[in-house]
Structure 1
């Protein structure tokens, strides 16, 4: 089975749609950064220099990829609708966070059995959008980012005693 040829017709050029795709999930993060009481109480679990660097590099690459690796071929609008569902869940959790006096546990709590939904929802959103953009390099970068981001989030949201029991410091 081969991928459609459109996945390989990516060119370098600015994409307003790519910028919008990246900007939408960042809006609540900007509000969070401007909130004075956004820090987690107690010690923070460190997930390792390699893992943090890998997450940061892949995040930067996928942001640049959405904005600068354009593909003019798009599939049906079912994919953006599906991505919109995950973005809506993500926004809903942020609304809960800001209406619950900025309690970080609201962001960490499971949703429908999904651990760390605040890490999972944006990754799924970006992955679906990368598929809709029919951009294979972007799909691979977002998938790698997802692995690093979800792994790191799972580690840093553990209590220090749980992390020590798992061998993470």
Structure 2
């Protein structure tokens, strides 16, 4: 439940799925960026959650595949969510690079680029039975989903004069 220290290649794969699109996004930001004031508490939660998730997925070997058992369904679920996350990024990069493509719902899921990676982290925590990632994922979720919801609300105000 507390985790076994050791390198996690599964964690590294998850981080690559998160970092690569975000690095590309920094190079190709939206052409219509909407400015808004981020809530400081949510921002602190987001940053703390990002740091804690990053460290946690790398330092516990419990996330690696050790045997074939029913728990792999949790890992499979996490991988599916990460694949959907990457598809949402593809939608942004293949489009006009506008904020709407970055934030709009996907398959009925609101704020998919915020919800999907948080949900994937929580499923990964269940799979690895590492409570620290679960806690980090909740902290990240509060901040990241909260800020993204603020961003979506600001975009809707701009679109509706």
TM-score for the superposition, normalised by structure 2:
0.82
Q: Which residue of 2 aligns with 1:41?
A: 32
Number of aligned residues? 154
Structure 1: gaps of 5 or more residues? 1-6, 164-169
Residue 102 of structure 1 pairs with residue 97 of structure 2: yes
Q: CA deviation at 1:126?
A: 1.3
Query: Distance in 2 between the 1:155 and 1:51 partners?
Result: 10
Give the greater-gyration-radius structure (CA).
1
Structure 2: gaps of 5 or more residues? none
Residue 113 of structure 1 pairs with residue 108 of structure 2: yes
Query: Distance in 2 between the 1:42 and 1:20 partners?
Result: 30
Q: Which residue of 2 aligns with 1:63?
A: 54
Query: Distance in 1 between the 2:91 and 2:53 partners?
Result: 28
Higher helix residue share: 2
Query: Distance in 1 between the 2:126 and 2:144 partners?
Result: 19
Q: Which residue of 1 aligns with 2:143?
A: 148
Query: Distance in 2 between the 1:54 and 1:127 partners?
Result: 16
Query: Distance in 2 between the 1:83 and 1:143 partners?
Result: 15
TM-score for the superposition, normalised by structure 1:
0.79
Query: Distance in 2 between the 1:129 and 1:147 partners?
Result: 18
Q: CA deviation at 1:162?
A: 4.3
CA-based RMSD: 2.3
